[in-house]
Amino acid sequence: MRKILVTCPPMLKQINEYRYIFEENDIELVAPEVVQVMTENQLVEILPNMDGWIIGDDPATARVFSAGVAGKLKAAVKWGVGVNNVDFNACKELGIPIINTPRMFGNEVSDVAIGMMLNLTRKLHVIDKEVRNGHWIKPVGNSTVGKKVGIVGFGDIGASIGRKLKAFDMEIVAYDPNAIEQYDIPILNFPQDIESLDYLFLACALNTSTHHLLNEDILNRLKDTAIIVNVSRGSLIDEKALVSFLKMGKFNGIGLDVFEEEPLSMTSPLVGFNNCFFGSHNGSNTKEAVDKTSYKAIKLLFDFLGI
């Protein structure tokens, strides 16, 4: 009997809804309990017994794929959009067909990004916490109308952010060398005019050219009152540099759904700042989006395996 391993937490939370597909095709579904990722050693041990793998954010390294190919592994699919954890070159060298599932979460992740923006702009998380503690506070927020927004990465997620923010009467620009202009939003070269931004959204892929895209220099050039929202990958921001600026009182707010190390450690200096609002790398996780992406991933893997 063929075996398929699933290690993507959102898909695993709804895995019972997909079991019938595997059963109908006489496939054993292997669905371990995964909070965030499996370790490289765990994958090296289990993957040689699998015919296929639906990958989450696990360390899909050359070592892992080599172990799999030494056994039964024939194909893999990266669940979701981000692929920075997957060694595609190793797959090519080893002859493993692999693909991701792009353009699945634009609406869902953009909702979270804009939600973070609004929360930080009006200090809603602070108000909620204080009201629960019996303090009837009324902090002064800011208006969004007329403010300038920069969106780094103008693919499915970035374009969805821009399209929705058009209704807020904000001035919007995008940074993406591979994008075409949409929704009358101009495309600039990063970091052009970054000093003028009131909001900066990160929605681009993580690669060698975008690692620590927001470094000390860029963070310094941003307005002291700027709000930054990252719904892409944590390593787009140099967190040590960010903490240094936060300690100096810079930035009205930082919204992070992703971090350089996940889960976020309670010893991280970031947890001490009230002007930070955190997620758990969960921006895409809606019932509808997970279903859509999971069915797509299953179909792609079955096609690779000739099922």
User: CB within 8 A of 163, min separation 6: which ones?
Assistant: 182, 183
Which two three-digit tokens encode residue 273?
């700042």
Q: Are the C-beta atoms of 123 and 141 separated by less than 8 Å?
A: yes
Our measurement of the distance from residue 33's CA atom to the centroid of its chain's CA atoms, rounded to an integer in Å, reads: 21
Residues sharing a CB contact under 8 Å with residue 12, sequence separation 6 or more, in sequence order: 6, 31, 32, 33, 34
Q: Is 262 a catalytic residue?
A: yes
Cα–Cα nearest to 150, from 122, 186, 179, 121: 186
Which residues partner with 53 through β-bridges? 5, 76
Give the chain's radius of gyration (CA, Å): 21
User: What distance in Å separates the CA atoms of residue 200 and residue 148, rounded to the nearest whole number?
Assistant: 9
Contact 121, 141 (CB under 8 A): yes
Positive or negative CA dihedral for 39, 235, 10, 48? negative
* Choice among 17, 130, 171, 262 that is catalytic: 262
Paired residues of 150 in beta bridges: 173, 200
Catalytic residue among 108, 125, 233, 239: 233
**Annotation says 125 is catalytic:** no
Which tokens in the block code for residue 212? 């620590």
Number of H helices, E strands in the chain: 11, 12
233 is catalytic: yes
User: 253 burial class (0-12, 13-18, 19+ CB within 10 angstroms)?
Assistant: buried
The CA-based diameter of the chain, rounded to the nearest angstrom, is 63
User: Rounded to whole angstroms, how far apart are CA atoms 187 and 180?
Assistant: 7
Show which residues are catalytic: 233, 262, 281
